[in-house]
Structure 1
Amino acid sequence: MPFDKFVEYGRLVVVDAGASKGQLAVITDILDIKQVQIQGPNVPRQVITINHVILTHQHKQSAKALCKTEAEAVCKELIPEFEKSTCGKKMAAKNIRANFNDFQRFTAQSLQKMRTKKINELMGKK
């Protein structure tokens, strides 16, 4: 399978480190082999290393660097598309579970135990 997620103008990324961790942003400019400039709805325009972002499949073709208004428009277009993707759904579920309170964690654990018990009964395991 060929590699299909390249660092390019208009590529949607997930910030993986720093104050904006977990936020979505768009690559607005490529500075050098290790650094890009990003901007997003909750991410101020900043320079970040490529090691600190996760590339997604969503991108908008652009032959040049994006200005502030273009970046905002691309974000508005790509973020709903990302939220419908499998990766976006997994991220949303992970965020929901991370924000559980004590009772919700206990309920989820109890439901998981009941589910495992039913599966083991159906499979004939002890």
Structure 2
Amino acid sequence: MPDQSTFKRFVEVGRVVLINDGPFAGKIAVISEIVDHNRAIIDGPTSGVPRQSFPYRHLTLTPLTVTSLPRGAGTGTIKKLLEKQGTTEKWNESSWAKRREVIASRKKLNDFERFGAMLKKKQVRDLVRKEIKASA
């Protein structure tokens, strides 16, 4: 029986990562070089993240990869491959990115807007309840 790994996302050159900490938190970048078992060099030319060494503990690996990216590729090469493969668009269309946008928009609501959202949620819930009761 072959030894099958349960992990699907690996730290590799070309892996798209989500930054969790620091001034670029919430932005995506690409691993361009692996420094050691604690750090990688990341670059995000389309998201405004400068090329820098970054610890893995502040990154989240996404399922997206930039294929055929050579080790230590420069910013220009990474930008060309990101645009060619449409990786940024794939990220923006993913449910993960959409969910992050919803959470961020809800955090920006003031007290009155939260109250209005609660009322709309109650209206929808009542309509659904009435439809279910009518169909039963």
- Mark yes or no: TM-score above 0.5: yes
Structure number with greater Rg is: 2
TM-score bin, normalised by smaller chain: 0.7 to 0.9
With normalisation by structure 2, the TM-score equals 0.77
Unaligned runs of 5+ in 1: none
With normalisation by structure 1, the TM-score equals 0.83
Work out the percentage of aligned pairs sharing the same amino acid. 27
CA distance in 2, matches of 1:24, 1:63: 19
Match of 1:73 among 69, 80, 90: 80
Alignment deviations for residues 101-122 of structure 1 (CA, whole Å, 9 cap, x no partner):
3332221121223333444556
CA distance in 2, matches of 1:92, 1:109: 19
1:35 corresponds to: 39
Matched, 1:92 2:101: yes
Unaligned runs of 5+ in 2: none
Q: Which has the higher contact order (CA 8 A, sep 6+)?
A: 1
What's the C-alpha RMSD, in Å, of the aligned pairs? Answer: 2.1
Query: For this pair of structures, how many residues does the alignment match?
Result: 124
Matched, 1:64 2:71: yes
